């Protein structure tokens, strides 16, 4: 079989890239060992991800991608496609044995807006539904569908085509079904499987990552609303910028945090992430220690994945992304970092944008791909630093908040660049040396930061702080959004 481009992985990233390339007249084979629908984790989108999706839709004249870039147009056009409304990020600190409460608003809570209205809201993607939808679109637009086939070999040479060996993933036909695809390009969109690294020599860079966490997760029915179990009475003196339920909820407990992401068909994604050297507790033990978590989950029943509550080993892995001039990994194949700041979808989509442009331009020059790898490295180093400092301080809410504020300042600056119609060279300000220097400095002082140091951090963050972050007057409620 021959195709100009072979893509391994039909998750949202591989499917969108395949669709874009097919829309530009390229022949594309999309291989996946699974068949849709299949369970996938990594569901909380962000304004950066939405801005890139919208940009891809404009650039390649694919209105569907634009429609999926915010809650309002998603609901107008695809009301049956499951997703959740994400007006922002909420952080809630729990104490063992106590119902959630605060002496003063903001003592144990932080709300950072992502979107200015329900219509413009970001979304949580019910991945099995969304990935299936995008894969189907790709196939309807001419992509050759090879789902149900696993990649079992890859061969490259300096001048010849890239050869990908596939076989049926169905145990009954596996042995008798081998075939080869020859292509000009091979794109690895296989997420954490990073299939290319099994068959081609690639540098493993995981040891350079400081973040070391593991997680457990599943999808549940009947998770209670946060606003139904805590006192929902609005405070006369301060209004929340959004409901904590229309958000990526981060419940800070023990040495980690629990996420809850509500979708609009009655399912809620629930997971817990903690440092690798801390045990991954059973859900029952978290419920018994934290009464408000117990109240939310008192009626909850796990509905996916089929095997039940998933427990992972260390999440982090990192490979150099260009094993060969015509074989490229998307950022989410080269890297898994951590769910804390919901960066995976945005990173994958930025990779789709960068790779589509280079493949469509036929760019085999070393410098173009060196630049791709160098941008990805810069972004990874910055994210790793920001995530690691947040985990180090997860049990000290004020310092944890400061660590998050660096991320939000970086994300909001990046969103503003997209909103101005430009494409930032790097996501999250990773290309701006003054900003990365600031993050290095905060990293060196944050673990012992007192009020004087925190004021100094606020002062130094000023050039990037259009959202008024770290303002002691606003009770940890931030309503500013770059999206208008
Ligand atoms: C616990 C956790 C929580 C996360 N939460 C978030 C979040 O809230 N927000 C966010 O933005 N990001 C999050 N992420 C990151 C997110 O999961 C990834 O960015 C995203 O899933 C990557 O999607 P993808 O389309 O690139 O790959 P995937 O969705 O992983 O798809 C890869 C495909 O490759 C296929 N495949 C694998 N091996 C082979 C093979 N040998 N042959 C053929 N096909 C193969 C698989 O079947 C799969 O369908 C999280 C990650 C983790 C681990």
The pLDDT tens digits for 272-289 are 999 999 999 999 999 999
pLDDT by residue (tens digit) across 450-466? 999 999 999 999 999 99
Distance (angstroms) between ligand 1 centre and the Cα of 189 equals: 8
The closest-lying atom of ligand 1 relative to the alpha carbon of residue 149 is: 43
What is the average pLDDT across 221-248? 81
The domain defined by 86-123+213-311 folds into D-Amino Acid Oxidase; Chain A, domain 2 (3.30.9)
pLDDT at residue 237 tops 60: no
pLDDT by residue (tens digit) across 180-229? 999 999 999 999 999 999 999 999 999 999 999 999 999 999 999 998 88
Helix axes 433-445, 451-461, angle to 10 degrees: 170
What is the average pLDDT across 12-41? 98
| Mean pLDDT, the chain, integer | 95
pLDDT by residue (tens digit) across 406-449? 999 999 999 999 999 999 999 999 999 999 999 999 999 999 99
Instruction: Identify the helix (H) or strand (E) that includes residue 63.
Output: helix 63-67
Instruction: Identify the helix (H) or strand (E) that includes residue 156.
Output: none
Q: Which of 53, 214, 339 to mutate to test the pocket of ligand 1 (most atoms within 8 A of CB)?
A: 339
From the list 314, 317, 122, the residue with the least C-alpha distance to 207 is 317
pLDDT by residue (tens digit) across 286-334? 999 999 999 999 999 999 999 999 999 999 999 999 989 899 999 999 9
Distance (angstroms) between ligand 1 centre and the Cα of 332 equals: 7
- Report pLDDT for 171: 83
- Report pLDDT for 221: 98
- Report pLDDT for 238: 59
Collapsing DSSP to helix, strand or coil, 476 comes out as: coil
Domain(s) of CATH 3.50.50.60: residues in the chain: 2-76+126-207+316-364
- 81's tokens: 């496609």
Is the C-beta atom of 151 inside 6 A of ligand 1?
yes
Q: Atom 13 of ligand 1 has which residue's CA nearest to it?
A: 42
- Report pLDDT for 233: 56
**Pairing between β-strand 149-155 and β-strand 162-168 as defined by DSSP bridges:** antiparallel
Distance (angstroms) between ligand 1 centre and the Cα of 454 equals: 36
Is the C-beta atom of 220 inside 6 A of ligand 1?
no
Give the CATH class of 2-76+126-207+316-364: alpha beta
Dist. CA 218–CA 280, nearest whole Å? 14
Distance (angstroms) between ligand 1 centre and the Cα of 190 equals: 7
What residue has token string 């494409």?
A: 423
Q: Which of 146, 191, 318 to mutate to test the pocket of ligand 1 (most atoms within 8 A of CB)?
A: 191
Is the distance from CB of 240 to CB of 90 less than 8 angstroms? Answer: no
Is the C-beta atom of 164 inside 6 A of ligand 1?
no
pLDDT by residue (tens digit) across 254-270? 899 999 999 999 999 99
- Report pLDDT for 389: 98
- Report pLDDT for 231: 66
Is the C-beta atom of 193 inside 6 A of ligand 1?
yes
**Any bridge partners for residue 247, and if so which?**
88
């Amino acid at each position: 079989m021959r195709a100009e481009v072979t893509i391994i992985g039909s998750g949202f990233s591989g499917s969108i890239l395949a669709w874009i390339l097919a829309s530009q007249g390229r022949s594309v084979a999309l291989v996946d060992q699974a068949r849709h629908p299949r369970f996938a984790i990594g569901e909380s989108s962000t304004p950066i991800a939405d801005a890139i999706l919208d940009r891809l839709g404009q650039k390649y004249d694919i209105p569907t991608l634009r429609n999926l870039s915010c809650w309002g147009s998603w609901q107008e056009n695809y009301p049956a496609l499951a997703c959740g409304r994400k007006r922002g990020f909420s952080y809630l600190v729990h104490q063992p044995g106590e119902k959630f409460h605060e002496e003063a608003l903001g003592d144990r809570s932080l709300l950072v807006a992502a979107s200015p209205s329900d219509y413009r809201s970001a979304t949580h993607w019910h991945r099995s539904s969304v990935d299936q939808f995008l894969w189907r679109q790709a196939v309807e637009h001419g992509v050759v569908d090879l789902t149900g086939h696993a990649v079992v070999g890859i061969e490259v040479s300096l001048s010849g085509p890239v050869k990908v060996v596939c076989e049926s993933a169905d145990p009954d036909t596996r042995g008798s079904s081998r075939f080869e695809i020859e292509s000009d390009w091979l794109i690895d969109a296989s997420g954490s499987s990073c299939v290319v690294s099994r068959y081609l020599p690639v540098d493993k860079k995981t040891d350079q990552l400081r973040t070391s966490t593991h997680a457990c997760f599943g999808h549940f029915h009947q998770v209670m609303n946060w606003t139904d179990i805590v006192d929902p009475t609005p405070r006369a003196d301060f209004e929340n910028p959004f409901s904590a339920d229309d958000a990526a909820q981060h419940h800070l407990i023990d040495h980690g945090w629990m996420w809850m992401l509500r979708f609009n068909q009655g399912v809620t994604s629930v997971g817990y992430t903690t440092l690798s050297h801390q045990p991954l507790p059973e859900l029952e033990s978290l419920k018994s220690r934290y009464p408000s978590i117990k109240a939310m989950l008192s009626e909850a029943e796990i509905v996916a994945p089929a095997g039940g509550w998933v427990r992972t080993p260390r999440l982090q892995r990192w490979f150099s992304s260009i094993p060969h001039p015509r074989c490229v990994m998307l950022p989410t194949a080269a890297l898994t970092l951590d769910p804390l700041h919901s960066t995976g979808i945005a990173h994958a989509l930025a990779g789709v944008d960068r790779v589509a442009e280079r493949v469509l331009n036929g760019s085999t020059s070393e410098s173009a791909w060196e630049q791709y790898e160098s941008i990805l490295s810069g972004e990874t180093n910055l994210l790793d630093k920001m995530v690691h400092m947040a985990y180090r301080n997860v049990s000290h809410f004020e310092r944890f908040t400061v660590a998050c504020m660096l991320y939000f300042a970086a994300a909001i600056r990046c969103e503003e660049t997209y909103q101005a119609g430009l494409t930032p060279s790097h996501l999250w300000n990773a290309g701006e040396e003054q900003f990365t220097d600031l993050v290095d400095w905060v990293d060196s002082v944050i673990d012992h930061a007192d009020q004087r140091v925190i004021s100094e951090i606020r002062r130094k963050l000023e050039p990037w702080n259009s959202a008024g972050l770290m303002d002691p007057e606003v009770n940890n409620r931030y309503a500013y959004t770059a999206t208008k």
